[in-house]
Each structure stands twice: as C-alpha cells, then as structure tokens.
Structure 1
Amino acid sequence: MRERQSVAHQLDPAARRVLERVEVDGVELVRFLYADHGGVIRGKAAGRSRLAERLGTGIGHTVAMMAMSILDHLQPVEGMGPVGEVRIVPDPRTFVALPYAPGAAAMVSDLRDLDGGPWAACPRTFLKDAIAALEAEGYAAVAAFEPEFTLGRRLPDPAGGPDRLVPLDDSPCYATSGFDLAHDYTMQLVRALESQGMPIEHYYPELGAGQQELSIRPATALKAADNHVIYRETVRGVAFRMAMWATLAPKPIANQAGNGAHLHVSLWDPALEHNLFADGHGGLSALGRHFIGGVLRHLPALVALTCGSVNSYRRLQPRSWSSAYTCYGMDNREAAVRICSPMSGNIEATTNLEIKPSDSSANPYLSLGAVIHAGLDGIRRELDPGDAVNVDPATLTDEERARLGCARLPASLGEALDALEADELLMEALGPLRRAAYLAVKRSEVADFAAQDVAYETFHHLRVY
C-alpha cells in the first residue's frame, strides 16, 4: 500500500484525480484506448492495483499492431515486426467511467517510445503536431464530428453467408415513429454520453433503415478527436448491453443510406474569443476561403484519410448527399465542403465549414490532422477556392464542372491512396514510418476485399466500426 501511495504522489494532479475517481466509483479495470491505421479502436486494460504505476509507465505493446489491417492481417512494414515495443500511455484528462460497462473506465492514449518520447507512428501525436503548426500561425481549431450509425441486430445469414445486420426499424427519414422505436436505446445513449462529458447537440432518425444521427457539441481539435473515439465506443457499448448491434460503418447495408461523420471545423484566436472564419457580416472571412482553397487542393488525397475504408466508397456516390465532387457551396449538401449558414443570434460562434467526405472508418486523429494541414496550406499560400457551386454538381455538364474546377473524387480507396502518395504536403506531414504503415495497411485491405463479395465486405466493416 505504501508503495502505491509513493507512486501516486509522484504523479501530476490530473493523474491523481484519476486514482481518486477509480476508488470512489469502484472501477476495477481501466482501458487504455488508441485508434490504429485501420481506424479500429484497440487497447489494453490496467487493473486498479497497478493503475498508479501504469499511469506513468503506460502498458507495453508490440510495434506490430500499427501494421494490422481491419481483418487482423499483419502487414510487412519495416520497424513494425515481431521485434520492438512501444508504450500505450493514457492521457488522464480523458478519463471516463463507462456507464455501459460497470466497473470499467477508459482513457484515450498516446503511443510512446520506450524513452517516453512520441512514437513516429502515433496517430494522436500527428494531430498534436497539426495543432502546434496552427498555434505557430496564431490559430486554434474548434471541431466536431457529426456521426451517423445504424442500429439493429446482428443475425446469421439464412443462406449460410456472413452474419448480416437487420435494422431496428424501417421508419421514414425524421419520422416520429423512428424516435419511438429507438427511444429506449437513444435515452440510454444520451445519458451515457452526457455522463462522460459530451453534451448533446441534436438527435433524429435518419434516412436509412435503423439509421440514427446524434451529434455532440464542438470542442478544441484534440478534444474533438478524443470525443469521437469515446463516442464510437459508447454507441456500440450501449447497444451490446441491450442485446443489440450498432455500427458506424460507412455502408453496412449495401442498399441503404450510408453513415457519414461530417467534420465541422473553424479557426479561432488562441484565447478562443473570436471565430476567425466569421467576417463580422454574417459571411465567411478571407481566412475561411483560403482554408477551403487548401482543403479542395488536397481533397483527392485527403479522402484516403477521412474516408479510410474500402466500404467508404460505396457511400461517396453522386446524388447521395455524401459529396462526390471537389467543390464547395453555401449550404450545399452535395458539395465536398459546405459553408454552414450561421445561427441567428449566435452568428460568430456558429460560422463553420463542414467537410462532408468523412466517415467513422477513418482514424479521427489522422483525419482531422490532415484537414488542418491542408487548410493551413491554403492559408499560407492564400489559395482561392474559386466560385461556389450552389447546385448539385451531378446536374452540371462535364464542361461546366471543368470550368468550375469540380472534379470527381476518387471512386475507390485504391484511387484515393494513389492521390495520397502523390501529395507531397500530406506525405511529408505523415512522416516516413506512419505513411509506410498506413499505405501498407490500406493497400492490403483493398486487395483483400477485392477478392471477396459485397456481403463479406459489409460484414467485416459493420463488425469493427
């Protein structure tokens, strides 16, 4: 006992508060979570008796796990083989007791070298570096993911194929029957999210069968990505506790509407007092336009990180309200970047951009970090995004789209990875080890799913996301 007290005394105040919470809440296991290159949330758990020590040292972890695909196929990446170890080091500021798993809690974690420094393949560090680049220019990012998910039950396929997801309901979009049919689950989810410090923005039943959308409030960039990790865990954890199945996979049912996770972003002054995307007259500032210019310039490569799965590209189709072209527009839900109309009476705070080609199969740290790097490139180079497209780009002729610079986004993950490899800015930002591992993992998924049918693809995505 004295040894534990001595270790605890050496910890910082946030870590000591975790130890207090664990004792008060009766927590027995604490999960140390991270997102891998496949976009899968993985981790290990520390027992209460060793938690004080593990808060400082982390938990040992093989380097190979960041070369693992969503099918658990290990890829040959130099520096990520059977030899070598990193530490899963939790951020005590992210501690949450898990309301759907009594006796358990979780913290989001960094992957660190044995000397305690950031590991070159740590996704959370990638976002931290992007935030630091923004801070060096005098900006702070506020962001929010806006996820959709499908609620139902996982059942065996009568024909003997992979399990399938049977949606909870077939209610129409926004219909009150959808509210009622999912009510018990939704209320459990709302309470679980609120108890973990994620205030609810809004909720409604979406277009697809069993499809739900529940959004939480924006936060600073790192917190927003951390929130999305905990959100994903909670959506699924609450469903499992109720003998249901929830999936945030982009297209878990091939003939139903897909699940996005639109990324909302704005830039503020370092004190978070003024939204620098607001022009003071209800419109978008020049800074915001340059940010759009950077996002559009890098968008074909960006989608390899924001829409990070084979399954993603079943969703990114024209006339699907998911965006399929490199354009922007005012409240245009078919544009890749939507300038959101601000809310009356709160114009400055609610001026933001929505990046629509984004889903929950992406690693949120890589996704948001890459968007920041692209937008910052546009600011530094004062890139002009061109004319807004305020119609569905699919209704334009090829000549009209060419005049507007409105190109088709990559139609597959393979095409997006080709664009990423050709994008010098993003490849440099990712760094040698991270980009080698990411490309290897994603190229393997392209090959593995190309050899299988749609049922196999949808099952393995709904299983992990």
Structure 2
Amino acid sequence: MTASVMASAHASGVRLIRFLYCDNGGVVRGKATHISALEARLHSGIGLTVAMQAMNAFDQLQRVEGMGPVGEIRLMPDPSTFVVLPYAPHTAALLVDLCTQEGEPWGACPRSFLKRVTQQAADMGLMFRASIENEFSLITPVDAPLDPTLCFSTAGMLAAQAVIDDLFAWLEAQGIIPEQYYPELAHGQHEISVQHAPLVAAADRQILVRETIRAAAHAHGLRASLAPKPFLDQAGNGGHIHISAWTTDGRNAFWDGSQPLGLSAMGRQFIAGILEHLPAVLALTTPSVNSYQRLQPNTWSSGFRCWGPDNREAPVRVASPYRHDLAGTINLEFKPADLSSNPYLALGALVVAGLDGIRRGLDPGEPVMINPADMPEAERSARGITPLPRSLDEALDALERDQLLLDALGPALATSYLAVRRSEAAACADLSPEEIARRHRFIY
C-alpha cells in the first residue's frame, strides 16, 4: 500500500500531503508533509502534541489530565484514504488515526472509537452503512447570504451554479459520488447528499466533503458556513444521518416486508436503543452551543423523543424505500445531528445506542404519525414523548449519566470531550444569541 501511495503521489505531481483529523470540538485540523518525507511519514506518522484533544472550537486550551505541554502522539495515516485534492494545487490528503509513540491507538482518538464500534457490530454479525447529509450556507464578503431565493427554487440553483458545479466535479475527482442536490429553505442555503459507505469510510468521506464545500465557496469569492444556525432569522443547517444495517450474507437487517412499514424487529429494536439514549447521544450529534439555536420544535429539526415514518419532526424517521429495491433501500434517518459534530463520534454514538436496543430487545412503542408538538401535553406524557435537551449543558449532563456511552468512548476520550464541550458552553454563557451565532458562523 505504501508503494501505491508513493506512486500515485509522484504521478499526480503532489508536493504537500495533508494529514487530516477531526478533533473533540468538531474542527477539521491537520499537518502536512512534503513528498520528500512522505514514505517515512507513512510508517512513523507526524508528531502532534497531546494537548490538541483538549483544544476547544474557539482555540481555548482546557486543563485535562495528561493533555498538557508534555507528551506527543502521532498522526498515523491510513494509506487507503490517500486522495489528490483537486482544489489545492499539488496537494493530497490522508485521513489519520491518533496513535501513541508505540503505534497503538490513543485512548482519545475519535477514529479509533468508531473502529471499535464497527467491530462490536461485526461481533453481532452486522455491518452498518451510513451517509451524512450536508446543509451549508453560501455567504458573501459582506457577511450576508448569497441570495434571497426560495426553497428548492431554480433561481437558487442559478445563483450558486458555478459553486455547485465545481463542488460536484471535485467530489467526483476524489471518488465521492454525489446523489442529490437542491437549494434549501434558508437564503443562500444548499444541501447535497452522497452515497452510503461503511461507518469509518462514511466518516472519512464526511471530512473530505466538508473540506471540498469550503474550497468550492472560496474559489468563487464566498465563504461556506456549515454551522447549525449561522443566521438567527433563517433556517439552520443540519447534518442528518442515514443509516442501515447489513448481515454477513448481504441482507438489509432493517427490512421485513411482512411487518408494518417494512421495518424488521431488529430495526425497531435499533430505534428503541437510540430513543433510550437520545439525550446523551445529542451531546455527540448536536454538540455545539449553536446547535441548540437550531434544535427546536416546529423547525423540522426535531424537538421531542419519538419516531415515525417520514415524520420530519421526529428524531428518528423511517425513510420510505425506493420502489425498485424495497429491501435494499430501507434506512433510518436521524435528524437531530449537525455539522458541528465530529462524524466519527456522531456515527459511533448512534450505533452504540442502537446496538444496546438490539441486545436488550427494546421496543420503541408506536410510531408518531403527526407533529409531536401538536399533541396535547397529556398525550405526549402518556406515550413517553419527552422534550429533547434545550441546551448543550443539558445534553452533556445526560452524557455524563449514560454509562453505556461513557464506557464505549473510554476514559480519555470521554473526559477530554466533556471538558472541551463544557468549556464552549461556558465561553458562550454571557453572550447574546446574535453573538453566539456570529462566533460559530465560520468555525464549521
């Protein structure tokens, strides 16, 4: 594999290779090596201070035991992720694991966490495939949305067509196949989806998609915001997760044509596990202060703990399968997720919760067929349809109480993650809603 990477890098005229990772604050960071040192770096990685996993999204270093000025880890590249970046001259990228000096997975590595979760699923005879939708806002140099066009409007397509054309061409050049595109509800807002992939590959792909969105906007004198709520008077940006489970013989484990909605017993159990752990899961899927400016009832981002078929106010939506392949296309959409998350942590948390539901044979109850906000409060209470956390601190409190997720993350990752996200909540505690939105606008 090393020889293949070196041959591809030389054939493509690459000079710099970026080693990319996503940190506890959901920020994509990295270092780059010159091609003259690439072969050695493929074996030994690039050094990184342990403190970086204690750095929050505002570049404020937190006090976390073992993550101070002393100590170093290695950015160890996965050669299978090598890709030439079509938007950056003579530049390629590799996705990395955070490893110890001895080459072992570091306890605070998000990518290694998702690998462990993938193995847990494999031990149960399951392989998960996922894709994360990408909503983003195109913003002009005067910090305003690109255009005032309408949802799904062709005028919106026209206004952004040069950006979107480059975006699609550059994704295709990286082997990432887009599936859908359309202008979304907010001014200057757009959404793209890409093909599903196994969990780690889906998260790796998400890092590259984020980078490519920003690059396409930059190439046209714009900036892209992937923040959950860049403008308070506009709809927010989500990062909805679509997920399905597959058996070792290639069957979709969520499909059973004899059952209501075509949803198997295992699919129901997976949903029940997500609902059981949902408040804690949100600490990893909607993990910024800005997330809770978006996550409100009646905004199609979900506000109550429930599930339903094609119910876009429910956190878990059973997506209608395609008529030509019912068994192959049924999947679950998890709506309370956005692009301030680390995709390795978001996907891992979702699967950990769902697997718990399968192991325990949990039941999600009856599906909700209306907007849960329209239900009388007494009915919601009787059916266990409780409000979702309304702040980052509330979600982090839930995570600290959820032993299943804490154990899955492990002490180093859980401790550093909680410290980083708590510090972001504290940094925003005295800010106005407008200032919170402004501060998050271009972090993600």
What range is the shorter-chain TM-score in?
A: over 0.9
Aligned to 1:109: 96
Partner of 2:329: 350
1:36 aligned partner? 23
2:381 maps to which residue?
402
Q: 1:455 Cα shift?
A: 3.5
Q: Which of the numbers 273, 279, 290 marks the counterpart of 2:256? A: 279
Matched, 1:20 2:7: yes
8 Å contact from structure 2 (residues 19, 31) kept in 1: yes
Q: CA deviation at 1:280?
A: 3.2
Matched, 1:434 2:421: no
Secondary structure of 1:464's aligned partner: coil
Note if 1:60 corresponds to 2:47: yes
SS in 2 for 1:43: strand
- Alignment length (residue pairs): 442
The one of 376, 382, 390 aligned to 2:369: 390
Q: Which residues in structure 2 correspond to 1:7-156 (within 5 Å)?
A: 13=1, 15-155=2-142
**TM-score if structure 1 supplies the norm length?**
0.94
Match of 1:332 among 304, 308, 311: 311
**Corresponding residue for 1:320?**
299
* Structure 2 match to 1:311: 290
Q: Deviating runs (4+, > 4 A) in structure 1?
A: none
CA distance in 2, matches of 1:326, 1:241: 41
Kept in 1: contact 2:428–2:436 (CA 8 A): yes
Amino acid at match of 1:397: P
Query: Could you say which residue in structure 2 is the equivalent of 1:453?
Result: 432
Q: CA deviation at 1:292?
A: 0.2
Q: Secondary structure at the match of 2:442?
A: helix
Letter in 1 for 2:14: V
Alignment pair present for 1:252 and 2:239: no
Q: How far apart are the structure 2 equivalents of 1:43 and 1:214?
A: 25
| Aligned alpha-carbon RMSD (Å) | 0.9
Q: Deviations over 1:180-202 (max 9, x none)?
A: 11100000000011111111110
Q: Is the 8 A contact 2:141 2:221 kept in 1?
A: no
Q: Counterpart of 2:390?
A: 411
Q: Deviations over 1:205-245 (max 9, x none)?
A: 00000000011010111111111010001100121122110
Q: Write the distance in 2 (CA, Å) between the matches of 1:349 and 1:257.
A: 32
- What is the alpha-carbon distance in structure 1 between the residues aligned to residue 297 and residue 47 of structure 2? 45
Q: Is the 8 A contact 2:17 2:34 kept in 1?
A: yes
SS of corresponding position for 1:213: strand
Determine the C-alpha separation between the residues in 2 that align with 1:263 and 1:288: 15
- Residues 88-124 of structure 1: CA distance to partner in whole angstroms, max 9, x if unpaired? 0111111111111111111111000000000000000
Residue 231 of structure 1 is matched in structure 2 by 209
- Spell out, residue by residue over 1:304-333, the C-alpha distance to the aligned partner (whole angstroms, 9 max, x if none): 000010000111100000011110001000
Unaligned ranges ≥5, structure 1: 1-12, 156-164
Q: Distance in 1 between matches of 2:86 and 2:399?
A: 39
Question: Equivalent pairs: percent with the same residue?
Answer: 51
Deviation digits for residues 24-48 of structure 1 (CA, Å, limit 9, x no counterpart): 1111100000000000000000101
Corresponding residue of 1:160: none
Q: Which residue of 2 aligns with 1:172?
A: 150
1:220 aligns with 2:198: yes
Cα distance between partner residues in 2 of 1:321 and 1:454 = 20
Verify: 1:267 aligned to 2:254, yes or no: no
Give the Cα–Cα distance (whole angstroms) in 2 for the partners of residues 212 and 448 of structure 1.
30
For 1:445 and 1:108, the matched residues in 2 are separated by 26
Task: Give 1:369's match in structure 2, choosing from 322, 331, 348.
Answer: 348
Query: How much has 1:456 moved relative to structure 2?
Result: 2.9
Letter in 2 for 1:275: N
Amino acid at match of 2:252: N
State the TM-score, normalized to the length of structure 2. 0.98
**SS where residue 261 of structure 1 aligns?**
coil
Cα offsets for 1:337-364 (capped at 9, x unmatched) = 0000101011111100000000000000
Matched position secondary structure for 1:81? coil
